[in-house]
Structure 1
């Protein structure tokens, strides 16, 4: 990928026409840039050299000072370096060559750079005050996120305290959680990256799979204390048979902790479920009808999702419109939360119930009057997360 960067130097195609007050002007930008590019690390007309690691790199004061405020101050700001013919820089050689190429050509080729090298160039861009280059590199990293590189990018983003890139990585990981916990790249995550990822309510993967991924990670990172990371796993969400089986046999969770998790799973009605965020999408589309009786219907979503809106529609039966219905949601079909009462307005066939965003796996609609005949088959439901509503979406 070539990132074309604008600058104060001439740029443009091989030949462009532009009308001005003085008439038509021909612009030969590509040729000028090519000539400049040939001067990069070239002894021709060089009046300064940089000693980087063990290599001497020729350069041109005027060009660097024109392109970069840092070098303008170095060469023409009365500093000690302004009188030196040779200047030592303590920067990575490969990355500094990339920066020099950008100064002379206005281009940055990143296809040959791995993630670590891109972050080195990004760090030098920040050091030299090259903000357009910083922005272009961050954009490139965001656009190239994949299951194979997102762990490495997150490690680097956290290390350099790049908040926006860190958040973009975490949100991307939320979307690929199922694949990520089984991918070899998961083993490359730093402890700091795991501390940012595992607490997320929206990292919606089966908790046993998360635990097993972390256990596997610990075997490949044996020098890291695993205790604080294990505490981020939501053990009460793991089935009891797996707690006393796979989790206990791993040896990284104390027996007392496992017993506490079992007690909490049995007693608590407010477990810390993880859930997907699918803003604006109908997560009830394709949902299974687990139960349809005379007075009750239960929908099972494909996975636990954060929603705040349920839309009900009568499919034509006027009998549906005569009654009120209780609407409840749950993540485990044991503990149900009432989110509203469904009462169709006069002559209307649709009704919307809104509530605080919460994780939901099952939706239950019931008609309390058990004397009435089976009419819930005539009710169609959609479930969405509406960003226009008030309420904090869990992270």
Structure 2
């Protein structure tokens, strides 16, 4: 017997994907079924397409398509017919579809685009969803100025939303080119209206008007539906009078209304168009953006947000009050944005207050972020209603150390997913009391500066992994990077033995006015503390211990805000080999007093090593 017999093959000679005893002859099966395609052999139904008879096999078609199952076995009149006329099927596309039904293969790259579109239509009509998606994916790769309008019309006709989105994105990026291309004239009215209504279809409005004018000459008797999508107030008065008026397709009253709107209303209220780049920073030298106002302009957009110190690496402006121009950045192209990310200078504990305004023509400014009443630090994650922007102005209103506003880095983009907002303040769903979100412990005693916020809820013992303060003196004070609307928080009190604590928590947005969050001064609390409350803006969190059943120090291992219970641990058993008497004796050792107010900590932060809990 030949050693090549599959049952006698060793593991070294087997294919990696084959299992012992498996026989796969899929290629032969595909070839045999392919041979039946359009063959009269065993055929029990004939389709007549464009006058040509095409032999087929009911059972194969019914097994591959619900449409054909209903047509051939569902009790319709065609069920008992040996010949079925298909009036709405293109012959070439139907033959290609039959080949796919019998073989599972389709070679699109050898086909003309119009045949591919016809095949897509048949796949949609006959319910071949996987084929429909596959053809759509191929068409996305084949988009060009020559075919995008035809593909968009087809995608719109068959309700292929993903393909429509890709076509729109392509047209957005090539708006000026498509307006001048001959294929634009063949775009259907419904698709053209939908396209022109997009703020991201970005081209000079006079070019859009000229494109619509040319389209209307080819597509007559369509009324003024398309013309209404042209944003006449975005044109200059000169363009309205020299280009629009001579075309004689805009009514005189509409022309006068456009001139009046252009000259009388706020510029920020005009329906601007701008480029839309999803999740891509549009504020950088590569995009043509530049800093117009501010000192040390070269640093803000250089992309370096790690190498900065007291002397370099930031752009600044003096805080002088009303009328301050602040730091102004011009984007290379008018862009649709809803997110700005800032890095405030953060080499010490200082905080800043600021606001942000945007404009299109640097005349009429709209305030999108107002944090002039809040003390913010380090990275700022800011969201607002999407709008077209070309100029961004950041104005510092306060610095807790001096009269200068320092900005290290700026990004602007459009994000598809934005958090829930109340006014211009984020309502986070995940913990923002983290180092990554710029939170910091500004008062409290710890061997490691930010042990409270590092997310470690397992590695703590008698000597480290917690933040504390002396009872009756000071507190644990945490500053978030920016204000948030929150309704819960979670604490882990030190729990390596059976001690209990009493405490209360206050919150503030300005470090001066405090609001009690929870009062557990009469409770014996230990380990994890889950606290919920009415949603409120929070920037500072003050935790004040009032009692410890073992000694005179309040110990907190972890803080998260808002509460995020996933992965939260159970009380951690002690790993110390010391006796309880030794522990109590060491805990009674005197501690140096931490700073007592946020102001003192800001000016002279103190983080003390505590050798004994």
TM range (shorter): 0.7 to 0.9
Q: Do the aligned partners of residues 333 and 54 (structure 1) sit closer, same or farther apart at CA in structure 2, a change above 3 Å counting? A: same
- Shift of residue 341 of structure 1? 4.4
Check whether the contact 2:49–2:91 (CA below 8 A) recurs between aligned residues: yes
Maintained 8 Å contact 1:51/1:86: yes
Distance 2:102 2:369 in 1: 65
Q: Is the alpha carbon distance of 1:131 and 1:278 closer, same or farther for their aligned partners in structure 2, counting shifts above 3 Å?
A: closer
Supply the distance in 1 between the matched residues of 2:117 and 2:358 (Cα, whole angstroms): 45
Query: What is the root-mean-square deviation of aligned Cα atoms in Å?
Result: 3.3
Q: 1:365 to 1:124 in 2, by over 3 A?
A: closer
Which of 278, 289, 292 does residue 290 from structure 1 map onto? 292
Q: Which runs of 5+ in 2 are unaligned?
A: 1-14, 296-317, 319-323, 422-613
Deviation at 1:330, TM superposition (A): 0.7
Report the counterpart of residue 140 of structure 1 in structure 2: 138
Answer with 89-98 or 166-175: which moved more: 166-175
Q: 1:273 maps to what in 2?
A: 272
Structure 2 match to 1:53 = 50
Unpaired segments ≥5 residues, structure 1: 1-14
Task: State the partner residue of 1:334.
Answer: 363
**8 Å Cα contact 1:308/1:384 also seen in 2:** yes
User: C-alpha displacement at 1:285, in angstroms?
Assistant: 1.0
Query: Which gives a bigger RCO, structure 1 or 2 (Cα 8 Å, sep 6+)?
Result: 1
> Contact between 2:352 and 2:405, CA under 8 Å: does it hold in 1?
no
SS in 2 for 1:359: strand
Q: Deviation at 1:246?
A: 1.4
Work out the CA distance in 2 between the residues paired with 1:143 and 1:358. Answer: 30
Mapped to 2, the partners of 1:71 and 1:379 lie a distance apart of 65
Aligned to 1:257: 254
1:7 alignment partner in structure 2: none
Which structure has greater helix proportion?
1
Corresponding residue pairs, total: 368
Residue 361 of structure 1: which of 390, 402, 406 is its match?
390
Partner of 1:185: 183
In the alignment, structure 1 residue 123 sits paired with structure 2 residue 121: yes
TM-score using structure 1 length: 0.80
Alpha-carbon shift at residue 24 of structure 1 (Å): 1.0
Q: What is the CA–CA distance in structure 2 between the aligned matches of 1:104 and 1:178, rounded to whole Å?
A: 45
Report how far residue 355 of structure 1 moved: 2.9
Report if the CA contact (8 A) 1:316-1:378 is conserved: no
What pairs with 1:1-395 in structure 2 (closer than 5 Å)? 18-19=18-19, 24-77=21-74, 80-90=77-87, 91-219=89-217, 221-225=218-222, 227-269=224-266, 270-286=269-285, 287-292=289-294, 295-296=324-325, 297-313=327-343, 324-341=353-370, 348=377, 350-366=379-395, 380-386=409-415, 387-390=417-420
Measured in 2, the distance between the counterparts of 1:322 and 1:42 equals: 80
Cα 1:182–1:390, aligned 2, differ >3 Å: closer, same or farther?
farther
Q: State the Cα distance separating 1:41 from its structure 2 match.
A: 1.2
The Cα of 1:353 is off from its aligned counterpart by: 4.3
Larger radius of gyration: 2
Q: 1:105-163, CA deviations, whole angstroms, 9 ceiling, x for partnerless residues?
A: 11122224444433432333333333322232233333433332221111122233444
Distance 1:280 1:73 in 2: 46
Check the 8 A contact 2:372/2:397 in 1, yes or no.
no
Offset of residue 245 of structure 1: 1.3
Asked if the contact 1:342/1:351 (under 8 Å) is kept, the reply is no
Change (3 A) 1:316 1:135: closer
Indicate the SS of the match to 2:412.
strand
57-66 or 345-354, which moves further after superposition? 345-354
Q: Quote the Cα distance in structure 1 between the aligned partners of 2:67 and 2:278.
A: 44
Q: Give the 3 Å change call, closer, same or farther, for CA 130–308 of structure 1 in structure 2.
A: closer
Work out whether residues 154 and 193 of structure 1, in 8 Å CA contact, stay in contact via their aligned partners in 2.
yes
| Counterparts in 2 of 1:292 and 1:239: CA distance versus 1, 3 Å | farther
Identify the range of structure 1 (128-137 vs 269-278) with the bigger mean alpha-carbon deviation: 128-137
Moved more, 237-246 or 37-46: 37-46
Q: Deviation of residue 316 (structure 1)?
A: 8.7
**Structure that is richer in strand per residue:** 2
> Could you give the per-residue CA deviations for residues 162-189 of structure 1, whole angstroms, max 9, x where no partner exists?
4443333223322332332233322221
Q: Give the CA deviation at 1:103.
A: 1.8
Write the deviation string for residues 344-364 of structure 1: whole angstroms up to 9, x where unpaired: 987945545443322211112
Question: Residue deviations 1:181-217, cap 9 Å, x none?
Answer: 2333222211111111111122122212211221222
For residues 217-244 of structure 1, what are the alpha-carbon distances to aligned partners after superposition, in whole Å with 9 as ceiling and x for unaligned?
Answer: 223x152435221111111111121111
* SS at 1:383 equivalent: strand
Paired position in structure 2 for 1:5: none
- TM-score if structure 2 supplies the norm length? 0.54
Tell me the secondary structure at the aligned position of residue 57 of structure 1: strand
